[in-house]
Chain A
Amino acid sequence: MRLAYRLLVVSLLLSMTGVCFAGTHTDLDRRLQSLKSSFVESAQQVPVRSNKDRILLGFTEKTTISLQSISLSLNGQKLLQHAYQENENISLREGGIQPLLDLKLPLGKSQILVSYTGQTPDGKAFEQTSKVSISKSNVRKIIELTLSNKANSAPRLGKQEH
């Protein structure tokens, strides 16, 4: 929610410079509203189930870092590269968990290589790589990677399964 406050600062400036949007596309917006309502109404009736395994990323409550990028490799094969926006960092610090990947993990033991870069609150850059071991059976896996740090220290990566 805090990001919105920044936007409010911006919108304050816009309103003071005479930029006005409200009402310009009213008819179009009305059509969109009706479209959205009927869409959500019918789409909610359709159950969508996934049996894929999932990899998530969350912070612990005291984590203060800002992430810049993350990349994941499974058994040497690159699966994901993601660059962070500020609103994603804010949401992570407010308790949100980011869905990173939906995938079919191979049965048995595998290793995920997690590389991430970012900054501590005092502006120090960090770049780390951690290995996460996974043992997959027939049961669907939901793995949460957890970053934690204290004050201005670099983060540590943990793992928990749901």
Chain B
Amino acid sequence: MQRMNLKAFFTGQRAGLLGVALMACVSQSSASDYQIREAYFKANTGRALEVLLDSSLARSSSFEWRGSKIDSAYVRTLAALKFGMSVADSRSESAGRVRLALAENQLSAGDYPAALATLQGGGYSKGLERAQSQYLRGQIFIHSNEIDQAQRLFKKWKGKDPLQAYLGLNIGIWFAEQNQLNKSAQWLAKTAAMQLPEAEEWNSLTDRANVYLGGVYNFLGKPDLARKALEKVRLSGVDANRALLSLGWTDVARSQNKQALAPWSYLSEQSHSDASVQESYLLVPFALGKLEAHGKASNVYAKAIRIYDQELALLGKVKKQAADGSLLKRITRVHQSSKATWQSSIRRAAGPQLTAYLTEALKQEELYMLMKSYMEIEDMRRWVTQVSGSTAGAKSALLKMQSVQQAYAKSINQVLQQDMAAQIKRLKEYQSHANFSLAESYERVADSNAWEQ
């Protein structure tokens, strides 16, 4: 991603294409409220290109939301950043928000000094803006390993915005990664106990803090405390499976093997494609074995081996389709006939069975960014095809796009194959463990039968 000179950005010396367009339009008449709000939605939901090409938004307009003002210049800047372009606009009524969006981008790109300089380039209005600026500063400190500064920022947090909780969580995770487990537990417990608004976003944050806290307490040999934390995680949340895995281990640590069966059995009834669920197929018979129920354990091991076979076949299919490029071609075809985001196109093209594995693979930043770039080119290609048709200029532009897109496709297919290979390796290890344990269970069943006779 291109990064611009910050000094030039704020003094307006580098007025790039977008900046010129924005500045030229600042004093014109107002666009309708719904248009700017629609553009804001698109910029935030993977349709940034549509905002950049929307000429009706090239006028000064704004809307107020919960005491904060969002103007068209900011929305266009946000769209440009989301579309991975450099920006140049310093006249926005929402200058604070522009700096926040830019700093967030710089932080994601790993340019911490630039992100800090951007944040320090001006003031912020009270409320969400101020909270976001504090949060981003905290993130910069954590990434730069200046943990004392991050902790100070948390303690002197201005205002009451719950974003403070994200900072607390990240400090706790940082300490865990540094193996400073007691400090980690303190921060995670503090975060998990924070009074946050009743909304999915904040409930998820509390869940995550409790999952980490449970894990840290388990490492510290405090299974009772771990259980208390893990029990608070919602079954409906995204971290439920990880919590259930840990909860079982907590019970094993407390020598409550029967109790460990409950979370692991529940987990083993969920979707087969989930990594935590696949792990639970080994843990349920492990707990049964501890309870001397070797007959039942061998049945579960046998079932696990069958499921691993099915899932390995699916993974092999994805790997093969990545190797011959057919998966990406199918995703592209679906995306061409849809107005939805590229993530939705992947889900539709992959179907329910393969989606879980692709979603897992896309958690890798490298693959995600490659796919995002590939789909951005696809969106540009679609636009040129629809609007400019078969003119010579359009043909030339399409050829250039095709060349870059093919290069991205090659990289995507390579990374996807590597990822599938890693997932196949993991499942084969599980399967081999299950095979070994199954044989062991059969021996124990035979032994106990012989003993009874």
A36 touches B380 (CB 8 A): yes
Binds B, one of A23-31, A69-77, A108-116, A132-140: A23-31
| A130 interface hit (Cβ, 8 Å) | no
Q: Which residues of B contact A47 (CB under 8 A)?
A: 55
B143 touches A12 (CB 8 A): yes
Once the chains are docked, how many angstroms separate the CA of A137 from the CA of B185?
A: 64
B201 touches A90 (CB 8 A): yes
| B2 interface hit (Cβ, 8 Å) | yes
B377 touches A40 (CB 8 A): no
Q: Which residues of B contact A117 (CB under 8 A)?
A: none
When the two chains form the complex, which single residue of B52, B142, B163 contacts A5, counting CB atoms closer than 8 Å? B163
Binds A, one of B225-233, B254-262, B404-412, B423-431: B404-412
Most A CB contacts (10 A, CB to CB) among B2, B32, B142, B341 go to B2
On whether A56 and B53 interact (CB within 8 A), knowing A33-B1, A91-B44, the answer reads no
Once the chains are docked, how many angstroms separate the CA of A144 from the CA of B38?
A: 11
Mostly helix, strand, loop or mixed at chain B's interface?
Answer: helix
Q: Which residues of A contact B139 (CB under 8 A)?
A: 8, 12
| A88 interface hit (Cβ, 8 Å) | yes
A36 touches B376 (CB 8 A): yes
Interface size on A, as a range, is: 35 or more
CB distance from A53 to the nearest CB of B (A): 14
11 A–B contacts from the bound complex (CB under 8 Å): A2-B163, A3-B44, A16-B174, A28-B411, A32-B376, A33-B86, A35-B380, A41-B17, A88-B41, A91-B41, A123-B203
Given contacts A2-B163, A12-B173, A64-B198, 13 further A-B contacts (CB under 8 A): A6-B204, A7-B108, A32-B373, A32-B376, A36-B380, A44-B21, A47-B55, A95-B70, A96-B40, A98-B41, A99-B42, A119-B200, A144-B34
Name B's A-contacting residues (CB within 8 A): 1-2, 17-18, 21, 32-34, 37-38, 40-42, 44-46, 52-53, 55, 63, 65-66, 70, 83-86, 100-101, 104, 107-110, 132, 135, 139, 142-143, 163, 166, 169-170, 173-174, 177, 197-201, 203-204, 208, 234, 236, 340-341, 343-344, 363-366, 369-370, 373, 376-377, 380, 383-384, 387-388, 393, 397, 400-401, 404, 407-408, 411
Name A's B-contacting residues (CB within 8 A): 1-16, 19, 21-22, 24-25, 28-33, 35-44, 46-48, 56, 58, 61, 64, 66, 82-83, 85-99, 119, 121-123, 142, 144, 151-152, 162
